[in-house]
Amino acid sequence: MHDKTRRLPGEAAFSLALVVLSLWLTTVAFEISGFEALSAPGSFPMAVTAVMVITSGLIFWRTARLPAAGHIRDWREILPLRVVGMTVMIGLYAAALQPVGFVPTSFLFLTVSIWMLGRTSPFYALGISALSVAGIYIVFRLIFTVLMPEGVVPEREIIAWVQSLFAGAPK
């Protein structure tokens, strides 16, 4: 979808940002060990950042001279509201994962995003989310024993409690 003969909105700024990033990383790489020895821990990072500076510089130089893409004026075509919205949603999700816990956060995240994206009935979204969270929970937590953040839900106690029910003997 990218046309290399035209410059998209934001493209020049992006390539400039990469140049700045590369320059900054070069200074960080230099501070690791300077030009101490060919085998020093900083040698490889310095070589790599040097390549980044050169290539990002050339890319910026070429991009800046391209004619702007005439048919795309609006930022929305580059960055639709949906993309921004979803990015914020996952950001919030990741932030809430630890304190609130995996099960409630995931459930909420799925329900809200399916409901908003699909403009479907909230019950449909609720149903799909409940099913998916249950599926993921079974595979990751129960089968592969990955301990997802528990947050407010005392999962391990619940599991131990359920196990004790099956075991038949009170602990």
Partner 1 sequence: MKTRVLGAVAALLMAAAPAIAEYPEKAIQGIIQWGAGGSTDVVMRSITPHAEKLLGGSVVMQNMTGGVGAIALKYVGAQAADGYTLLMGAENPQLYKVMGLGDSDYSDFIPINLIARGVPLLVARPDAPYNSFAELVAYVTAHPNEVKFGSTGPGGLPSVITAMLTSEVALPVIAVPYDGDGPALTALQGGAIDVMPAVLGLAIEGIRAGRLKAIALVDTTPNAALPGLAPIAEAYPAYAKYLPWGPFFGVFVKNGTPDAVVAKLQAAFGEATQNPEFMAMIEGRGFSMLNLSGDDARAFLTNWQKTTAWLVFDAGAAKFSPADFGIERP
Partner 2 sequence: MMESLQYFLISWLDPQLLGLIALGTFAGIYVGAIPGLSVTMAASILISFTFTWDIYPALSLIVGIYMGGVYGGSRTAILLNIPGAPSAIATALDGYPLAQKGEAGEAIGLSTVMSFFGGAVGIAVLAIAAPTVSEFALRFQPRDYMLLAILGILLVGSLSGESLMKGVFAGALGLLIGAVGLDPLTAQERFTFGIIDLWGGISFIAVMIGLFGISEALMQLHHIDKLAIKQAISRIIPSWRAVRKFLPLSLQTSAIGVFIGALPGTGGDIAALMAYDHAKRVTKDPEVPFGHGAREGLVAPEAANNAAVGGAFIPMITLGIPGDAVTAIIIGAMFIHGLNPGPMLMIDRPEMFWFIVGALVAANVFMLIFGLTGIRLFVKIVELPRPVLIPLILLLSIVGAYAVSNRLMDVYWALGFGVFGYFLKLYGYQVGPVILGVILSRLIDENWRRAIISDREDLGGLLWGTLSSPLSAVLLASVILIFVSQTPLWGMAGRGWRRLRG
DSSP 49-88: HHHHHHHHHHHHHHHHHSPB-TT---HHHHS-HHHHHHHH
Q: Give residue for tokens 């590369």.
A: 22
3-class DSSP assignment, residue 102: helix
Question: 117 or 165: whose CB is closer to partner 2?
Answer: 117
110 burial (CB, 10 Å; 0-12 / 13-18 / 19+) is buried
By the 8 A CB rule, do 43 and 37 touch?
Answer: yes
Q: Are 69 and 117 in contact (CB under 8 A)?
A: no
**Least spacing, CB of residue 60 vs partner 2, in Å:** 10
Considering only 68, 82, 123, 160, the residue that binds partner 2 (CB under 8 A) is: 82
Q: Which stretch binds partner 1 (CB under 8 A): 2-10, 19-27, 81-89, 153-161?
A: 153-161
Helices (H) and strands (E) in the chain, counts: 7, 0
Q: If contact means CB under 5 to 8 A according to the sort of partner, which of partner 2, partner 1, none does residue 156 touch?
A: partner 1
Instruction: Tell me which DSSP letter residue 8 carries.
Output: P
Site for partner 2 in 107-166 (CB under 8 A): 109-110, 113-114, 117-120, 128, 132, 136, 139-140, 144-149
Tell me which of partner 2, partner 1, none is bound by residue 23, counting a contact when its beta carbon lies within the kind-specific cut-off of 5 to 8 angstroms. Answer: none
Encoded amino acid at 157, one letter = E
SS3 assignment, position 7: strand
Window contacting partner 1 (CB under 8 A); options: 18-26, 78-86, 115-123, 157-165: 157-165
When asked if residue 130 is in the footprint of partner 1 (CB under 8 A), the reply is yes
131 touching partner 1, by CB under 8 A: no
Binding site for partner 2 (CB under 8 A): 2, 4, 8, 10-11, 14-15, 18, 25, 28-29, 32-33, 37-39, 41-45, 48-49, 51-52, 55-56, 58-59, 62, 78, 80, 82-83, 86-87, 90-91, 93-94, 97-98, 102, 106, 109-110, 113-114, 117-120, 128, 132, 136, 139-140, 144-149
